[in-house]
Amino acid sequence: MSEMENATQPDTSVTDEQLLFRYVNGDVSAFETLVNRYRRELFNFLARFLGDPALAEDVFQEAFLQVHLSAGGFDVTRRLKPWLFTIAANKARDALRSRSRRSAAELDAEIGGGEDDSTRFVDLMPGSIPRPEETLENLESAQSVQNIVQQMPENLRSVLLLSYFHQFPYKEIADVLNVPLGTVKSRLHVAVKEFARRWKAASEKKQ
């Protein structure tokens, strides 16, 4: 493994919840660690959900801005990941409805420290979030999957992404989407059948 690859490996010795607790108690670097830990997975989710990498990057930053603003009220006895994805999914749905862009003033807000020891929120965000296709071996197949997923109805697309691309348990998917557990199972069943139908049709069209 190269030095650069090793440097980008996430440190899993500290839990997400511990990082957020440290951040709330003044450790700004803990927030940066949390952002780096999720910058690939969360961005990939948003890029597939939105079908627009530029908009996904905006929403990624908006989601972590909301984490920053709401960190003090988070119950650290809960898991942070479902909470983070809930925020991101809500921001993504808002973006699809309004195609709004993040507020430069909000992202320029200062966090942590005092007047002489402050950090801007935007300074903690990754300068270049990796595109989801960078992590996939077969780019042609990846693009085909992306196209099919993007064409599916939002309610089916979201449950498929959370379950198959990000391996969320049913209960956590229900929490993220704010729907009953039974609804998650029924939507996923329909989503898988719909994806299979569309994939078959696309494959036959290529022949």
Residues of the chain with CATH 1.10.1740.10: 11-134
* pTM, full prediction: 0.68
pLDDT of amino acid 87:
95
CATH pick for 136-207 out of 1.10.10.10, 3.30.1330.30, 3.90.420.10, 1.10.3720.10:
1.10.10.10
What is the token pair recorded at 45?
């989710």
User: For the chain, what's the residue count?
Assistant: 207
What is the token pair recorded at 133?
């296709």
Does the pLDDT at position 11 exceed 50? Answer: yes
Question: How far apart (Å, rounded) are the C-alpha atoms in residues 55 and 72?
Answer: 27
The pLDDT tens digits for 14-71 are 999 999 999 999 999 999 999 999 999 999 999 989 888 889 999 999 999 999 999 9
pLDDT grade for 195, boundaries at 50, 70 and 90: confident
pLDDT grade for 12, boundaries at 50, 70 and 90: low
DSSP-derived letter for residue 129 is P
Question: How far apart (Å, rounded) are the C-alpha atoms in residues 183 and 172?
Answer: 13
Angle between helices 53-70 and 80-98 (to 10 degrees): 130
Q: Which residue has the tokens 């960190």?
A: 71
Q: Angle at the Cα of 45 (from 167 to 14), degrees rounded to 5?
A: 65
Residues of the chain with CATH 1.10.10.10: 136-207
pLDDT grade for 76, boundaries at 50, 70 and 90: confident
Question: How far apart (Å, rounded) are the C-alpha atoms in residues 191 and 185?
Answer: 10
Least confident of 20-34, 107-121, 142-156: 107-121
CATH number of 11-134: 1.10.1740.10
In the chain, what is the straight-line distance between the N-terminal and C-terminal CA atoms, in Å? 41
Q: What proportions of the chain, in percent to the nearest 5, are helix, strand and coil?
A: 70, 0, 25
Q: What percent of the chain has pLDDT over 70?
A: 72
